[in-house]
Amino acid sequence: MQTRTLGNSGLEVSAIGLGCMGMSFSYGPPKDKHEMTALLHAAVDRGVTFFDTAEVYGPYLNEELVGEALAPFRGKIVIATKFGFDLRDGINFRSPNGAPGLNSQPEHIKQVVEESLQRLQIEVIDLLYQHRVDPDVPIEEVAGAVKELIQAGKVKHFGLSEAGVQTIRRAHAVQPLTALQSEYSLWTRTPEQEVIPTLEELGIGFVPYSPLGKGFLTGAMNENTKLDSADFRSMLPRFTPEAMKANQALVDLLGVLAERKQATPAQIALAWLLAQKPWIVPIPGTTKLHRLEENLGAATVELTPEDLQEIDAAAAQITVQGARYPEKLEQMTGR
């Protein structure tokens, strides 16, 4: 497995990481612990060194799974986790408007880090993200709290998730950022407008989550796909039957190139991301070994400048239907 360095930080990770959320959260009930442990071990065996989790995934279950499963590989892997949601008794508090509650008060951050360290069975967190920007806490205070944790030897690197450009700049001025984690893929290209140029200017790495469009870009879903009510995609505007029917054109585009390259649509989607910048490290999630192997195979798919131009020209003719999130969750991005 090739490696990449996240920005100017010196943090070296596998070119493709593994998003672990779906093993415990959002895509139906938590998966079998033994099966997921075997999958995490298989990822390490295949060269993956970058694993992504968060306290809110479960809550807590995913950190516990990742911590236990990856305990034998301490020192050989990088674990990223996140703080920022207001969890009370293991339940995410809801704010008056119905959106998930946030809490990035400095004392809360420090408490969350202590608890995450225990669940992950580690002495220092490799990469700590603020999960969503908290409008009630100045980002300078958040960055200052993480800076203190870095100085105390409890955290190595600082990141933000779904933050806007001004927030990135303000945080970076207090404690240099190693990475931004936001959604980015062929059907979510908003970061190209302002975020990616800013990251390049400041020397910050980019970690795209949902690089396969939450599964849609693999070609495994269509307008007839029935999503379980426990699957959070069932509440996303982009996953209505009408939107999926309209967005099929994007999957068809990937399929044409995949056939030519003797690859799969998922591999083309990931290879496209890898080709954008050398400091971009996607973290596709999966709970299946064959999908893990398929995703990792994207690192060997070479897209020429002509291929990339062809993809961009064709994608420009396709208007993606449906918002990424319901309005209340969409408002929590780009702050």
Catalytic positions, written as ranges: 57
Torsion angle of C-alpha atoms 265, 270, 273, 277, degrees rounded to 10 = -140
With CA atoms as reference, report the closest residue to 129 among 67, 191, 205, 35. 205
Residues 6+ apart with CB under 8 A from 312: none
Q: What is the DSSP letter of 49?
A: -
Q: How far apart are CA 197 and CA 327, in angstroms?
A: 26
Supply 104's token pair. 């990035």
Cα-based distances in Å from 166 to 179, 203, 264, 329: 15, 15, 38, 20
For 196: left if phi > 0, alpha if psi spans -120 to 50, otherwise beta; the answer is alpha
